[in-house]
Amino acid sequence: MTSPDSAAVPGRATITVHRNGPLEVQGETVIVGADGTELRETRRAYLCRCGGSSTKPFCDGTHRRIEFTDDGLGAQHRG
């Protein structure tokens, strides 16, 4: 699911918004839950945007099944 033009910069996390899909986090990252619990330490993670994942905050691919749509460009690109 990695975008060919999204290269991670060493020492910095990069978050890529995938069209009709999850957020891809690349780079040294610690994901922490609302209660402060460390959920995962990783170099790559996919986070749910559709709200349907049974493994929130992580993506489980539900966006494909429910036909989630979003161009991934952000609100500033909408008319």
Q: How confident is the model at residue 1 (pLDDT cuts 50, 70, 90)?
A: low
Listed residue (77, 59, 70) closest to 20, CA to CA: 70
pLDDT digits (tens, 9 = 90+) for 15-72: 999 999 999 999 999 999 999 999 999 999 999 999 999 999 999 999 999 999 999 9
pTM tops 0.85: no
